[in-house]
Amino acid sequence: MSTPAPEDRAEDRAPEDKKDSMAESAAGPVDAKRGPSVATRERRQGSINPSGETPYLVVEDLAVKFPTADGLVSAVNGLSYSVPLGRTLAIVGESGSGKSVSSMAVMGLHDRKRTRITGSIRLGGDELVGLSENDLMKIRGDAMSMVFQDPQSSLHPLYTIGNQLVEAYRVHHKVSKDVAKKRALEMLDLVGIPNPPRRFSQYPHEFSGGMRQRAMIAMSLINDPKLVIADEPTTALDVTVQAQILDLLNNLQKEFGSAIVLITHDLGVVAEMADDVLVMYAGRCVEYGTAEDVLANPRMPYTWGLLESIPTVSAANERLRPIKGLPPSLLNLPDGCSFSARCPYVERVKGELCTTQLPDLLPVDGAGAHTSRCHLHDKASIYEAEVAPRLG
């Protein structure tokens, strides 16, 4: 029989353990009679948040491409969004839709030699695209930081948690080790790690998964960043721990007032956490708006498919309804709507519009901040009559 590890002592456990459009100028072309072009309008949507609040992070017409031996991988295309302080944007989409690649571009984490990034990423008004690695390093971990799915990849196994927190703080603050230690202990306490002085001297492997994620969050927030990007922060955790980490992020956001970009494929997490939602498919935004608009009145068949594929308790005996088919190759995106090959509604659009013309990202009601990229005319009535009843 094995002796319980020290971290399993009840008093030390965290709650969870007790259970391509860059050709135009920045302003874009303006037709004197018809106003700005669609590309320009889409780009400007980046600077207008669905809430109407002034954004802290503004991403406009972002494109991320990787030259590879097989050709150019267009991982992100024409992506625009914005996040004000105190607000959470959830970016959702299936695996490979470009969620992580776009967020790593915001953090400046791509290998410069192997990545082509165009467009604009402004943080508090300052342009990040084109900054030197040195300048980005000063911002990363300070004004913006990232929480990863797997804290083990970000926590060094050979340094104590305390040491890593102290170093993370001292990189951006000229303070003594004692002052930094005080801040580290405060952070451990803030993220709900019991007995901070003892935990301070322990190594990552001495922490449980949930505790490691808390330590990672402490590390991300130690410099009081105004932007936090959380990439699937709870995917590797069990459901109870997931809920506690999400609560923690929610509470910390209230305390720190930061803008959060939450990357997830879990629409349950979105409903719980998000103020705004951006749905990505094959590297493009296909629907964007407040969480209320996107979740209660979705207007894009891909979003419908994502919502329909959520397993529900009441449908426990029914088969899961995943979206049929696979996303297109990013090496060779189709001419029309990237979702057309999988879309069950494609025949309801006249002619071959869906397969030949990329739909613009347009306001769903002809105006307003809720936008979707789809040629279907009667999206509202199809949703009400056919999709909503299936969602139960």
Ligand X SMILES: Nc1ncnc2c1ncn2[C@@H]1O[C@H](COP(=O)(O)OP(=O)(O)OP(=O)(O)O)[C@@H](O)[C@H]1O
CA 130 to CA 144: how far, in whole Å? 17
Instruction: Give whichever of 76 and 376 is closer to ligand X, judged by the CB atom.
Output: 76
CA 2 to CA 208: how far, in whole Å? 17
Contacts of 86 (CB under 8 A, 6+ apart): 253, 257, 258, 259
Helix, strand, or coil (residue 334): coil
By CB under 6 A, the residues from 85 to 114 that bind ligand X are: 93, 95-101
Instruction: Give whichever of 13 and 342 is closer to ligand X, judged by the CB atom.
Output: 342
**Dihedral (CA of 289, 295, 298, 302) sign:** positive
Listed residue (313, 302, 292) closest to 359, CA to CA: 302
CA 99 to CA 270: how far, in whole Å? 14
| Smallest gap from residue 67 Cβ to ligand X (A) | 9
Contacts of 125 (CB under 8 A, 6+ apart): none
By CB under 6 A, the residues from 307 to 336 that bind ligand X are: 330
203 part of the interface to ligand X, by CB under 6 A: no
| Smallest gap from residue 93 Cβ to ligand X (A) | 5
| Smallest gap from residue 347 Cβ to ligand X (A) | 28
| Smallest gap from residue 19 Cβ to ligand X (A) | 27
Instruction: Give whichever of 75 and 123 is closer to ligand X, judged by the CB atom.
Output: 75
Does an H or E element contain 146, and which? strand 144-147
| Smallest gap from residue 28 Cβ to ligand X (A) | 26
| Smallest gap from residue 69 Cβ to ligand X (A) | 10
Q: What length is written for the chain?
A: 392
By CB under 6 A, the residues from 350 to 379 that bind ligand X are: none
* Bridge partners for 370 per DSSP: none
Which of 12, 37, 44, 66 touches ligand X (CB under 6 A)? 66
| Smallest gap from residue 39 Cβ to ligand X (A) | 22
Q: Encoding tokens for residue 354?
A: 């869906």
The count of residues interacting with ligand X (CB under 6 A) is: 14
194 part of the interface to ligand X, by CB under 6 A: no
Instruction: Give whichever of 68 and 381 is closer to ligand X, judged by the CB atom.
Output: 68
159 part of the interface to ligand X, by CB under 6 A: no
Q: Residue with structure tokens 């979740």?
A: 295
Listed residue (237, 309, 229) closest to 268, CA to CA: 309
| Smallest gap from residue 235 Cβ to ligand X (A) | 9
Which of 6, 54, 68, 201 touches ligand X (CB under 6 A)? 68
Pairing mode of beta strands 71-83, 126-127: unpaired
How far from 208 is each of 44, 170, 190, 217, 219, CA to CA, in Å?
44, 26, 17, 14, 16
Site string for ligand X, 243-282 (x = CB under 6 A): ----------------------x-----------------
Instruction: Give whichever of 114 and 350 is closer to ligand X, judged by the CB atom.
Output: 114
Does an H or E element contain 366, and which? none
Q: Residue with structure tokens 């790690």?
A: 193
| Smallest gap from residue 7 Cβ to ligand X (A) | 30
Judged by CB under 6 A, which stretch of 67-75, 131-139, 249-257, 361-369 contacts ligand X? 67-75
| Smallest gap from residue 328 Cβ to ligand X (A) | 10
Instruction: Give whichever of 100 and 120 is closer to ligand X, judged by the CB atom.
Output: 100
Instruction: Give whichever of 40 and 213 is closer to ligand X, judged by the CB atom.
Output: 213
Does an H or E element contain 377, and which? none
Contact criterion met (CB below 8 Å) for 186 and 204: no
Judged by CB under 6 A, which stretch of 66-74, 80-88, 117-125, 204-212 contacts ligand X? 66-74
Q: Residue with structure tokens 């996107």?
A: 294
Neighbour tally for 3: CB within 10 Å:
6
Which of 75, 128, 248, 343 touches ligand X (CB under 6 A)? 75
146 part of the interface to ligand X, by CB under 6 A: no
Listed residue (5, 7, 33) closest to 194, CA to CA: 7
Instruction: Give whichever of 93 and 225 is closer to ligand X, judged by the CB atom.
Output: 93
Instruction: Give whichever of 207 and 281 is closer to ligand X, judged by the CB atom.
Output: 281
Binding-site ranges for ligand X (CB under 6 A): 66, 68, 73, 75, 93, 95-101, 265, 330
